[in-house]
Chain A
Amino acid sequence: MANKILEVKGLKQYFGTAKQPIKAIDGISFDVYEGETLGLVGESGCGKSTTGRSIIRLYDITEGQITFKGKNISEMKSRKELMQFNREMQMIFQDPYASLNPRMTAGELIAEGFEIHGLYKNKKERQARIGELLEAVGLTREHANRYAHEFSGGQRQRIGIARALSLDPSFIIADEPISALDVSIQAQVVNLLKQLQKERGLTYLFIAHDLSMVKYISDRIAVMYRGKILELGSADEIYNNPIHPYTKSLLSAVPQPDPAYERNRTRIPYKHVEHDPAAKVIEARPGHFVFGTESQVKEWAK
């Protein structure tokens, strides 16, 4: 079994006032193992992006514990520790139009990280690293002097990926990295992410709402709904043997590029019910976890 790289325990993230909290994340726990891709899926507002942002310390968490490489991230206080953490964990954002500074060239954007961390000795080495990173993501060295607006959407996302890679991280949070891109470009970026993972042994937390892409890229999948993880298991398990009614409903709603299948597809509607207070995470099958009460899970698994 691979090592745990990230451990999330009882994570809660509330916004708003103490009297009327908005429970964006309402107590979730999961582990991410080294070298794997964990897909986090759910509909808008379910808390999947908040989870990613909490893990990378963009928010101070309300409750719970996030352990990254054996260290509790909320207890990191010294500048040295934080710098180290930032080098290890990076994020790829959804919108490559909004996440790149339009007044910086691709080279400056990519070099920003290692300038802050002082990771190069001289100008020559800096240029060489920019070139390497551009080539690693399928661009060319000549692109370094261009501005973001001179690139297409797919190319911009490649710059975003090069930026994330610039500090040689081990863990990357990809928050909807392809949903702003065209279909043919999506495949390019997903292929690139897969290839980089193989070459560099990266671990991904892949956040998305597109279930077919998540199934394709992930080893394991966690399904989120209203701030809770309702089901977690291997990608094949979740797809072939979903247990929670919400997961079943979600899967039944995904259109497939097959007219005959589409004609016969019946959507399973999901009626929202408040979670039973006795509900907990139950291992229904080996490695396949479901949130519910004992009797519910038995009933659903039938």
Chain B
Amino acid sequence: MKKKVLEVNDLRINFKTYAGVVQAVRGVSFELYEGETLAIVGESGSGKSVTSNALMKLIPQPPGIYAGGEINFNGRNIIPLSEKEMMQVRGNDISMIFQDPMTALNPTMRIGTQITEVLLKHKKVTSKDEAKKRAVELLDQVGIPFPEKRYKSYPHELSGGMRQRVVIAIALAADPKLLIADEPTTALDVTIQAQILELMKELQKKSNTSIIFITHDLGVVANVADRVAVMYAGQIVEYGTVEDIFYNPQHPYTWGLLGSMPDLNNSTDELLMAIPGSPPNLIDPPKGDAFAPRNEFAMKIDFEMEPPMFKVSDTHYAKTWLLHPDAPKMPVPDAVARRIKGYQQEGM
């Protein structure tokens, strides 16, 4: 049995705004094991970034409020920790890669200094010389050519892909057990994205780091994830292994996400399966299933009562009334079924 690194229980995060209290995260629970990658998928406003920022306790308070739940990292709940104690955790145990490498790096500091800063701060090295040696090693490890020369470069002298490699080098400097990557490749071109994903997987293999990968791109999820959590309106609506989610999706929202991507194997004459409408306002979340107003499969109960997490298999859970034994059997929409069939044929 693999070691459990992180356990999140019923996490709730609210934000106080002039318009009212926004319930950004509404009872999220998941766990993460050593060396695995969990992808959190969802649209903007689904709470995926708030969840990941909460794991580092980066939610500004106020306006943010940790309204409930626990974040157990290596068996210790980090929510009650003081800012001083958190500074030991951040960078050291948990580190983060952000979406935009230009804003994540300090434009006035040489990239080498930005790496040695982490090493010295977390006492991973004893002297400045040693820090420099280690920083050059790290730059080399993330695939930056001429690391000694680049050590002295400023961020603006590097391309987007190279900058993101520097951000990764900084994140890995203190050898964290958990790496949170919040849309790390969204700002990059596809070829650079492919390189960065390969790099992250390779580094993960070497150091057995656990990764939480936040993205809205299902192609990227299929590439990096071992397990997937699909988020909608501040909740996890489906949770399972990457095969569960892509080959046996249960939640209508997951169907919609899969169906709204063009299928390259099938004809282009038909329209995409768009999800109508837009996500709900989380100041006053809808009663019942938050997805019901956009769900063509919604039943009466969806508008009245929130569905619990139903168990599909030991690894697979989904939060939809369709899985209730009394619910009518809803077939997976054609477009999605055809796509899954297409995958299986290819695989044979």
Which residues from A are CB-within-8-Å of B192?
A: 43
Binary flags per residue of B182-223, CB closer than 8 Å to A gives 1, else 0? 000000011111110110000000000000000011111111
Which residues from A are CB-within-8-Å of B221?
A: 257
Which residues from A are CB-within-8-Å of B197?
A: 255
Residues of B within 8 A of A (CB): 43-44, 160, 189-195, 197-198, 216-223, 225, 242-243, 246-247, 256-262, 264, 268, 271-276, 278, 343, 346-347
Q: Are B260 and A258 in contact (CB under 8 A)?
A: no
Answer whether A262 and B268 are a contact pair too, CB < 8 Å, given A188-B274, A253-B194: no
Q: Are B268 and A216 in contact (CB under 8 A)?
A: yes
Q: Are B278 and A253 in contact (CB under 8 A)?
A: no
CA distance A88 to B27 in the complex (A): 52
Which residues from B are CB-within-8-Å of A152?
A: 278
Q: Are B262 and A212 in contact (CB under 8 A)?
A: yes
Which residues from B are CB-within-8-Å of A254?
A: 190, 219
CA distance A250 to B264 in the complex (A): 15
Which residues from A are CB-within-8-Å of B160?
A: 44
Q: Is A136 part of the binding interface, using a Cβ–Cβ cutoff of 8 Å?
A: no
User: Which of B43, B258, B346 contacts A260 (CB under 8 A)?
Assistant: B346
29 of the cross-chain contacts (CB-CB < 8 Å) are: A43-B190, A44-B160, A44-B189, A153-B44, A182-B44, A184-B43, A184-B256, A187-B260, A187-B272, A187-B275, A188-B275, A188-B276, A190-B262, A191-B272, A195-B271, A209-B190, A213-B262, A215-B262, A215-B264, A249-B191, A253-B191, A254-B190, A255-B197, A255-B220, A257-B221, A258-B343, A259-B246, A265-B223, A267-B194
Residues of A within 8 A of B (CB): 43-44, 152-155, 182-188, 190-191, 194-195, 209, 211-213, 215-217, 235, 239, 249-250, 252-262, 265, 267, 270
17 new A-B contacts at CB < 8 Å, known A212-B262, A215-B262: A183-B43, A183-B216, A184-B275, A190-B262, A190-B272, A191-B272, A194-B271, A217-B268, A250-B191, A253-B194, A254-B190, A255-B193, A255-B219, A257-B222, A257-B261, A259-B225, A260-B343
Which residues from B are CB-within-8-Å of A253?
A: 190-191, 193-194
Q: Are B274 and A259 in contact (CB under 8 A)?
A: no
CA distance A249 to B197 in the complex (A): 16
Q: Are B191 and A270 in contact (CB under 8 A)?
A: yes
Q: Are B274 and A256 in contact (CB under 8 A)?
A: no
User: Which of B191, B225, B257, B274 contacts A43 (CB under 8 A)?
Assistant: B191
Which residues from B are CB-within-8-Å of A215?
A: 262, 264, 268
CA distance A155 to B278 in the complex (A): 9
The residue on B at minimum CB distance from A191 is B271
User: Which of A190, A239, A255 contacts B222 (CB under 8 A)?
Assistant: A255
The residue on B at minimum CB distance from A212 is B262
5 A-B pairs closest in CB distance: A255-B219, A216-B262, A187-B260, A187-B274, A184-B275
Q: Are B222 and A261 in contact (CB under 8 A)?
A: yes
Which residues from B are CB-within-8-Å of A213?
A: 262
Chain A at the B interface: SS class? helix
CA distance A179 to B246 in the complex (A): 23
Which residues from B are CB-within-8-Å of A185?
A: 43, 274, 278
CB of A64 to closest CB in B, whole Å: 26
CA distance A212 to B219 in the complex (A): 10
User: Which of B191, B194, B260 contacts A186 (CB under 8 A)?
Assistant: B260
CA distance A257 to B245 in the complex (A): 10
Which residues from A are CB-within-8-Å of B273?
A: 187
CA distance A257 to B193 in the complex (A): 15
CB of A214 to closest CB in B, whole Å: 9
Which residues from B are CB-within-8-Å of A195?
A: 271
Q: Are A239 and B264 in contact (CB under 8 A)?
A: yes
Q: Are A267 and B198 in contact (CB under 8 A)?
A: yes
CA distance A194 to B44 in the complex (A): 25
Q: Are B216 and A182 in contact (CB under 8 A)?
A: yes
CB of B127 to closest CB in A, whole Å: 38
The residue on B at minimum CB distance from A235 is B268
CB of B229 to closest CB in A, whole Å: 15
Answer whether A191 and B274 are a contact pair too, CB < 8 Å, given A249-B191, A253-B193, A262-B223: yes
Which residues from B are CB-within-8-Å of A216?
A: 262, 264, 268, 272
Q: Are B264 and A255 in contact (CB under 8 A)?
A: no
Answer whether A250 and B262 are a contact pair too, CB < 8 Å, given A187-B272, A260-B343: no
Answer whether A209 and B218 are a contact pair too, CB < 8 Å, given A191-B274, A194-B271, A257-B261: no
CB of A83 to closest CB in B, whole Å: 35
Q: Are A184 and B274 in contact (CB under 8 A)?
A: yes
CB of B44 to closest CB in A, whole Å: 6
Which residues from A are CB-within-8-Å of B189?
A: 43-44, 209
CA distance A213 to B258 in the complex (A): 13
Q: Are B222 and A184 in contact (CB under 8 A)?
A: no
CA distance A183 to B41 in the complex (A): 11
Which residues from B are CB-within-8-Å of A250?
A: 190-191
